[in-house]
């Protein structure tokens, strides 16, 4: 009897979870053995983390237990940390559980913060966009407000919040924080004028890639809530309770949030893959160059948009599409077929702005190419979130974890 092929998936992010669920549904009984490896026992919604970070959502609402989605009769789950990948011996080395041999490997191990060479980020800024990271940030924010009334001497930085980066993550976080600040001030008896919020962006515009009208809408809304933008303003250094700008200005702040973008997991380069900022320029079928049995997806995969000649951003929707294609291609190879190429499809780009405000574009059905603002954008963003949950776990998962779009 032939040995069943071993399929190993590293990482339980959007791409890894879609790949695992697709394989467990479509592989025949006994056709292959699937193993998903993750250091957490849960999958978390990265695109929701700005809400628990600001305290407008409980962090448990942003995570999904893997055993609620993975069928243990069709796929195996291993909770462990990947130390290295030995491509020559086709083995994955784990921190606690020894080794895992594979015939086919799907790598989706996520990303880390990109500092762009700025010193002090890891030491003095909140940069971990994970469940634990945002929980720590939320507790810190509330602590800054709670201690205000207990101190006789107040410093300017006590209630100053600086967000480095005016991209998706930075804007969505400051949107939630600016919406919550009045409630925190009321709860802790803090004068509203004592709170300062800054967003600092090195690029010439906030929200690079968005339509200028949408950017203007977002900035006007956030400025109305008290957010001050410093655009085209690089950061030189982050110190304890201090942000130093390249032009020389210094902003004292007790809370510094780093949201300037990400780079692929260092595991990629350490395992011998040729990469740029931790991202591998994969083949059209998502295989690592020169590798017949290794697929790379999500934040660690670099795919060029032929229309713009720029990389596709490492978004959740692209990662989901990559996970599905990687799973299909592994099944094709097992069955003696040929692989298919990924054809990325951008279904829309929607950014939440706190409360029931959002903005963006939608490229589906009669809304194709339509700009959306306010409640309509908020509705479509939540419907998009629910669509992912439906793909991942069906109606029961939507009922238990779905967003109310109204």
- Quick check: is 240 catalytic? no
Token pair for 223: 């400025």
Taking CA 62 as the corner, what is the angle to CA 278 and CA 143, rounded to the nearest 5 degrees?
Answer: 95
Q: What is the pTM of this model?
A: 0.94
pLDDT at 314 over 50: yes
pLDDT of residue 309: 82
What is residue 366's predicted lDDT score, i.e. its pLDDT?
67
**Using an 8 Å Cβ cutoff, are 294 and 288 in contact?**
yes
pLDDT tens across 147-205, in order? 988 887 788 889 999 999 999 999 999 999 999 999 999 999 999 999 999 999 999 99
**Mean pLDDT to the nearest integer, 61-80:** 95
Nearest residue to 74 via CA among 114, 36, 130: 36
315 C-beta neighbours (distance < 10 Å), count: 18
Query: Which is catalytic among the residues 51, 114, 157, 172?
Result: 172
CB-based burial, 147-169: b 16+ in 10 Å, e otherwise: ebeeeeeeeebbbbbbbbbbbbb
Mean of the per-residue pLDDT values for the chain?
A: 94
């Amino acid at each position: 009897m032939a040995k069943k092929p071993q399929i190993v998936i590293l990482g339980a992010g959007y791409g890894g979870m879609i790949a695992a669920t697709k394989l467990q549904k479509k592989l025949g009984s006994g056709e292959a053995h699937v193993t998903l490896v993750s250091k957490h026992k849960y999958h978390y919604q990265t695109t929701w983390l700005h809400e628990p970070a600001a305290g407008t959502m409980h962090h448990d609402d942003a995570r999904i237990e893997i055993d609620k989605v993975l069928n243990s009769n069709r796929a195996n789950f291993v909770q462990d940390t990947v130390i290295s990948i030995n491509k020559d011996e086709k083995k994955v080395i784990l921190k606690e559980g020894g080794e895992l041999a594979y015939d086919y490997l799907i790598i989706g191990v996520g990303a880390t913060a990109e500092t762009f060479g700025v010193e002090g980020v890891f030491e003095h800024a909140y940069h971990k966009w994970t469940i634990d990271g945002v929980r720590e940030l939320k507790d810190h924010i509330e602590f800054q407000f709670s201690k205000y009334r207990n101190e006789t001497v107040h410093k300017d930085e006590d209630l100053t919040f600086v967000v480095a980066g005016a991209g998706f993550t930075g804007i969505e976080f400051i949107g939630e924080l600016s919406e919550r600040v009045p409630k925190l001030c009321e709860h802790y008896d803090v004068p509203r004028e004592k709170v300062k919020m800054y967003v600092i962006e090195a690029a010439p515009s906030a929200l690079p890639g968005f339509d200028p009208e949408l950017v203007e809408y977002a900035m006007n809304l956030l400025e109305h809530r008290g957010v001050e933008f410093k655009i085209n303003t690089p950061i030189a250094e982050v110190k304890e309770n201090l942000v130093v700008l390249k032009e020389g200005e210094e902003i004292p702040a007790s809370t510094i949030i780093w949201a300037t973008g990400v780079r692929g997991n260092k595991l990629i380069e350490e395992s011998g893959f040729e990469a740029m900022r931790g991202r591998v320029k994969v083949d059209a079928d998502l295989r690592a160059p020169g590798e017949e049995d290794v697929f790379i997806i999500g934040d660690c995969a670099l795919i060029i948009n032929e229309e713009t000649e720029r990389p596709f951003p490492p978004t959740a929707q692209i990662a989901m599409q990559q996970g599905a294609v990687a799973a299909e291609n592994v099944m094709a190879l097992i069955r003696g077929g040929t692989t298919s190429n990924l054809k990325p499809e951008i279904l829309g780009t929607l950014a939440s702005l706190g409360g029931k405000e959002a903005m963006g574009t939608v490229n589906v059905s009669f809304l194709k190419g339509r700009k959306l603002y306010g409640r309509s954008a908020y509705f479509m963003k939540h419907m998009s979130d629910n669509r992912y949950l439906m793909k991942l776990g069906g109606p029961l998962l939507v009922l238990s974890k779905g967003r109310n779009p109204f």
